[in-house]
Chain A
Amino acid sequence: MSQPAMINRYRWHELVAIYCGIFVFLAFILAPFVEGFLVSLKPLGLLFSSPYKFWPENGSFAAYKSMWVSVPGFARYIFNSFFISSIVTVIVLVLVVPAAYAFARFKFRGSGALLAAFLAVNMFSGAVLLIPLFRLMRSLGVLNTYFAMIVPGVAFLIPSAIWLLRTYMMRIPRELDEAAFVDGASHFYTLRRVILPIAMPGITVVAITTFIGSYAQQFIFALTFNSKTEYMPLPIGLYAYFGRQEVIWNELMAASFVGIAPAVILIFLMQRYLVAGLTAGAVKQ
């Protein structure tokens, strides 16, 4: 058996403490998911039984079938969410990649001020600007369209994406740009053939954070700028399970899990581009 390196060796009580710490954090993070999943398995009547039973008796996946019946448009909501987030992510990437390259490589007047301004924009959440945005959308006549939910999403996600990608691109050795320049490549050629492939892990991180960010902020934009049912994204769609009389908790939980599934699968697939050490061999470190 190979011994771990000296710096990675721990006494038994240190190990116990470390694992206890991990367990506490994981419990806080995962408990809502576990509880939510268990609720989705229980029949509705059992949910309010007293005393409350944590483990479902005669649990079943019935809610995962009936949810489609209770809210017939649910598939559309999933699609809307996915569609809006995908478009937002694509637009953000198209705008942010060249911008981050410029901020990382070129010295130009006002670049520092611009970056600071982007950071400042990040401090306002979308909620603060909802009223002005609403008026703007109304005068442009784009309320109740996908556009109304996509554009603010893009605007609020660009600053952090630029900061993230700029930092990543600054780590790519400048000699690579210079070598390409000496060999006659234009800035766009260099960006496309040299910088983009090397920055792929960074771009993937930006894509994932943007996608998740867009998912998270849809609720408030959809609620304010859209009143058409067919354009509603998932977070609003889940409200459909809040009936006039009662909330169908088990179906709501089932729908939540089904709703985020496509995003989880996509992120899982994108993760494989997060290959570390892609710059190995570029320059002598």
Chain B
Amino acid sequence: MGQLNLNRIQKFYGTYEVLKGIDLEVKNGEFVVFVGPSGCGKSTLLRMIAGLDETSSGDILIEGKRVNDLPPVKRGIAMVFQSYALYPHMTVFENIAFPLRVEKMAEEKLKAKVEHAARILHLDQRLQQKPGMLSGGQRQRVAIGRAIVREPKIFLFDEPLSNLDAALRADMRIELAKLHRQLQATMIYVTHDQVEAMTMADRIVVLNAGQIAQTGAPLELYHKPANTFVAGFIGNPKMNFLPVRCKGVSDAGVEVDYKGQTAVIPVAPQGGLVGRTLTLGVRPEHITLGPGDLTLKVTPTVIERLGAHTVAYAAIGGEGENFCAMLPGTAAIRPEVTIQTGIQVADCHLFDEAGIALERHVELTDIDMGVLDPAAA
């Protein structure tokens, strides 16, 4: 039994099903990130955990107790809003003290707690200022301070960094990761930004159209996406998908044919695949210049030079979608000049017709010892 359990959570708006039966267990002290495209239901799920939205069916349990009908404050959660939601007429001190004032806490105890929270968040110099005088990052820290001061069991963050500029967002990401380590608290964090998800999460929950597409550690999602949705969502630029034909299945993997070239992709074999059209997935960063196990001739139409990398986009085989390759920063390529790119079979992902992944022969423990068990890291 985890600290937070979601059992078959559903949410309807009228007849429209926003969440289609979510099951999830969150362990004590875990940093879980809900990620997904807009409209996937991730914020709704968070608001239901918070107690701001009603649950249509299913149970929310916190420390084994059903909390569906409890108000937020009795659930032992605190929430940080995307828009900060600071009280503009109160000083930073009063903003942070607000939950304690509601509790009618004694003045000295309250003062000590607020000052402690302010020290953690480096706001001690700002306590007498109003939110209007603070920068975006400071305002967000005040909002976090208001959450910390109540010492909740679970912190909920609703896209807390999406209003900040890129540089500040990177800083706050590090601060939040530090804060998580310092407080040892359970945190649930909603974002549409996969960088935030990858960098901060112990475990990522990828939501798609009201369902959990996959749950796993960041690198697990990267190396072993369960389906084409997760494969395309995690990783930037997006994974390339090529239609291939299955020619044979053996213990070594699945033999596929792509425009006359054949290769054996090392994935768990499965019966009944021969002759079917499968989807071969390969990440742009795994594409190299020159020949490989599979060799593709492409003509880049747009080239983005990022310094560290060169990203080349090419139209391929009339599929309409761009083929994307991430090459070294100094790659000698030019637009409209055809190049040869290579793919190694070990880097490939293979998906069946329904978009479900065939498990790759990759041992995640080889990549990162801590991946499968965050507690051991």
Instruction: Identify the A interface with B (CB < 8 A).
Output: 173, 175-176, 178-185, 189, 193-194, 197-198, 277-284
- Residues on B lying within 8 angstroms of A by beta carbon are 50-52, 71-73, 77-79, 81-89, 98-99, 101-103, 130-134, 136, 139, 146, 150, 163
What B residues does A284 contact at CB under 8 A?
82-84, 136, 139, 163
Closest B residue, CB atoms, query A176:
B85
Report the bound CA distance from A175 to B87 in whole Å. Answer: 10
B133 to chain A: which residues have CB within 8 Å?
A: 281
Tally the A-B contacts, defined by beta carbons under 8 Å.
86
Beta-carbon nearest neighbor of B149 in chain A: A183
Contact A189 B102 (CB under 8 A): yes
Cβ contacts under 8 Å, B146 to chain A: 179, 183
The distance from the CB of B117 to the nearest CB of chain A, in whole angstroms, is 14
Determine if A184 and B81 form an interchain contact, defined as CB atoms under 8 angstroms apart: no
Cβ of B87 and Cβ of A282 under 8 Å apart? yes
Q: Which of B86, B88, B136 has the most CB of A within 10 A?
A: B88
Q: Are B85 and A280 in contact (CB under 8 A)?
A: no
User: In the bound complex, do residue B99 and residue A181 qualify as a contact, i.e. CB atoms below 8 Å apart?
Assistant: no
* Given known A179-B79, A281-B134, A284-B163, contact A184–B102 (CB-CB < 8 A): yes
Bound form: Cα–Cα A197–B73 in Å:
23
Residue of B nearest to A182 (CB): B72
A183 to B101, CA, bound (A): 10
Closest chain B residue, CB of each to CB of A180: B98
Q: How far is the CB of B375 from chain A (nearest CB, A)?
A: 29
Instruction: Please state if A283 and B89 are interface contacts (CB–CB under 8 Å).
Output: no
**Contact flag A282-B88 (CB < 8 Å), given A178-B52, A182-B78, A183-B150:** yes
- Contact call A282/B99, Cβ cutoff below 8 A: no
Q: In the complex, A185→B88 CA distance in Å?
A: 17
Which residues from chain A contact B139 at a C-beta distance below 8 Å? 281, 284
Given contacts A175-B84, A277-B132, A281-B130, 16 further A-B contacts (CB under 8 A): A175-B85, A179-B79, A179-B85, A181-B52, A182-B78, A183-B73, A184-B73, A193-B87, A197-B89, A281-B88, A281-B131, A281-B134, A281-B139, A283-B84, A283-B86, A284-B136
Which residues does chain A contribute within 8 Å of B83, judged by CB atoms?
173, 175, 283-284
A selection of 8 A-B contacts at a CB cut-off of 8 Å is A173-B83, A175-B81, A183-B146, A189-B102, A277-B132, A279-B88, A283-B84, A284-B82
